[in-house]
Amino acid sequence: MKTQLKTLLMGAVLVASATAAGAADYPFRPIQVIVPYSAGGGTDLSARIMADVFQKLYPDATLVVRNQPGGGGSIGTSAAINSKPDGYTLGTGSQGPLALLPHYGGTDYQIDDISYIGLMGRNLQLVVGCKGAPFSTGEEFLAYAKENPGKIQVGNSGAGGANHIAVAAMGDAAGIEFEHVPFGGASQAVTACLGGHIHAMTLTPAEGLPHMQSGSITGLFIMEDERPKMLPDIPTLKELGVDFTWSSWKGIIAPKDVPEDVLGFLREAFQKVFNDERFLSRMKEMGEFVEYRDAEGYEALVRRDSKTAGDVIEKLGMTNMNK
């Protein structure tokens, strides 16, 4: 019995020593970041810029990007969250897979299963008036909506998606109702807007700015705390009296139970990457809105949007619809 106990204790010491040594030597092999979307999209391109800057800042480390699309981002997100918690598999944690999809059911993860590293950036949400709409300003939009409940047709890129949830939550905050019109993607919604087949839609500034400059659509308001520099003449929803903000976002996540010293390295490393001038300039060229938030700020944003989305999804009768 004493021999067995001694053997067990020695084994435990060896495992602990190996773990400590591994953490101290981290990273001694490549770190992979799973992007849960196809190559060539905004999240994928952002991740590859991130990996390139990471390599320049940490030449002795290797960061590789791996695409694992499917399930609206849930498949790759699940792979990252359920990977071995050793710091060698990370994920790009985006709003849809983290804050929305768990409410629909069918995911094998929740936001409590995540170690948060840092927020990379956000896609601002701009509401525009379409061709022939009976309003041309944010004030007129809200007034018309109140006078004509459920009459304004607002296009989105898909039922239950981030744009749909954003407008539904905005309506709850403002005490107004809309007719939500889903399309099979943002480009189809934009086409309908330009053709005057819907009254309004939500899109990113990068998507809307060319059409606003040509006069094809009209910027009404943006769901931010302050007017962004790129759109100084577009009021915020808060300026119009509605206390509501919303944006889509992406950051870096890891599985739960990653060793604290490894997490510390990752959080410090990505803070440097996301504030590096090379990263900022290349993201700006691509039309991305960079906003670094530390692990605590990133997690707070995820939990806030999850709560908002969960309330709207329940109201829409879509909770656990995929189970």
| CATH architecture observed for domain 30-123+248-315 | 3-Layer(aba) Sandwich (3.40)
Per-residue pLDDT at 40: 87
Per residue in 29-80, pLDDT (tens digit) is 999 999 999 998 889 999 999 999 999 999 999 999 999 999 989 999 999 9
CATH class entry, domain 126-222: alpha beta
Whole-angstrom distance, CA of residue 85 vs CA of residue 284: 33
Same fold, 30-123+248-315 and 126-222: yes
Q: What torsion, rounded to 10 degrees, do the Cα atoms 253, 254, 259, 264 define? A: -20
Q: What is the DSSP letter of 132?
A: T
Q: What are phi and psi of 131, to 5 degrees?
A: -55, 130
272, pLDDT greater than 50 = yes
For the chain, give every domain's residue range: 30-123+248-315, 126-222
Average per-residue pLDDT for the chain: 91
Is 110's pLDDT higher than 70? yes
Q: Per the confidence metrics, is the pTM higher than 0.75?
A: yes
**3-class state of residue 243 by DSSP:** coil
Q: Can you give the pLDDT at residue 70?
A: 92
